[in-house]
Amino acid sequence: MQQTVKLQPAEAYQPPRFTVYQHRQIDKIEQLEKLPEHLRFQMKVVANVFPFRVNNYVIEELIDWDKVPNDPVFQLTFPQRGMLDDESYEEMAALLKREHTPEEVFELSTKLRQKLNPHPAGQMDKNVPTFDGERVEGIQHKYKETVLFFPAQGQYCHSYCTFCFRWAQFVGKATRFNNNDEELLHSYLEEHTEVTDLLMTGGDPMVMRTVKLRKYLEALKEPRFDHIRTIRIGTKSLTFWPFRYVTDPDAQDLLALLKELVDAGKHVSIMAHVNHKQELRTDIAKEAIKLLRKTGAQIRTQAPLLNHLNTDPEMWSEMWKEQTQMGMIPYYMFIERDTGAKRYFELPLYRTWEIFRDAYKEVSGVSRTVRGPSMSAGPGKVEVSGVTEINGEKVFVLRFIQARNPDWVQRPFFAKYDEEATWLDGLKPAFGEEKFFWQDEYDAM
């Protein structure tokens, strides 16, 4: 029997009609008309390489247009010139300035995307499992206890983030992980009893209608899935389209599904992507958070540290405090991944640690649930724990928060200090060591 979660009267929140703009509709966004023509052209160039999608709620409620182009949510959603290297930008710009066909644009964009490491951290070769002797598309199983599932109906978002490390999901079927076979998912989970956590990911699973989401999740209440203790749903909808939980036609059904899973003994965690405190300022977002909490589900927040967008430690500490006050759990500060537009958003590793430390020291213990700064690299989630000097050598102190081999977790290791390094593969072992302790085993995987 379906549970109910009491909603506010519909008239309390007047939902706008969902309107979305993609790269071919950039010229239809009225707010952009105030920007110089050269900036609008730059956006079009970049939007023909990276996926672009933004909705009316983000445009009208979250962006301060008096602060554009420096507004953080504008940087988060609208293409920026620096996202492409000069050679790629000039090649696409030259094509768009002359007569061209859609086929020519597609061919060039496909070529340029291949330079951007579309599937980092072994996603294509190390993460995809086999079942009954065949490769299972749409499932990733990197860590023993956690399975990622990419529902085919959820491989887009209400709006796209410019930094997104899963940008390749949105630019063509050839680069996409997805699966719409709930029976395959259930069979895989039933056989792998070591798995305790299922992460529904994308894209954004919350773009799906509840009837589709229920198809994947409802069966997990059955005794054969008692080993599945936690159901996580990765989503940006809480701040990019909070009406999903309040006024959408099936909002009540969605909340009921989450409550049913909680009542069945599952730990349900909404993995909310919140990149800036500005995203939390609307009444509708606050109401969505309240309604989600009433189901018994937890909301954990995570975001990468991004140049041009959220490098202010004070903003992070204020955001973590506010999230805690609203009943959300600060979970991760990530480091921008080695894919896509990393050249525009990445920061040196020493700066990520300084920013995290300066923000962390300003919050109380209840907000120090957050971990980071963390690199989701090939061998696992590597935290930059600090910068120090040992026996006269300046080093990075690193550790695995999560790893392909659980025995690596929490083992500290050291890398030579390098002010230019922005990712794990730019680091070298300290103290004259030839390799990091995990390197040979990882290479053999």
**For 47-94, what is each residue's pLDDT tens digit?**
999 999 999 999 999 999 999 999 999 999 999 999 999 999 999 999
User: Residue 354: pLDDT above 80?
Assistant: yes
Q: Where are the domains of the chain?
A: 8-113, 119-161+169-303, 304-444
Question: Residue 346, exposed/middle/buried by CB under 10 A (0-12, 13-18, 19+)?
Answer: buried
Three-state secondary-structure class, residue 22: strand
Give the per-residue pLDDT at 4: 53
pTM, two decimal places: 0.94
174-187 average pLDDT score: 86
Three-state secondary-structure class, residue 320: helix
Q: Which fold has domain 119-161+169-303?
A: TIM Barrel (3.20.20)
Residue count of the chain: 445
- Report how far apart the first and last C-alpha atoms of the chain are (Å, whole number): 46
User: Residue 192: pLDDT above 80?
Assistant: yes
Residue 203: cis peptide before it, omega within 30 degrees of 0: yes
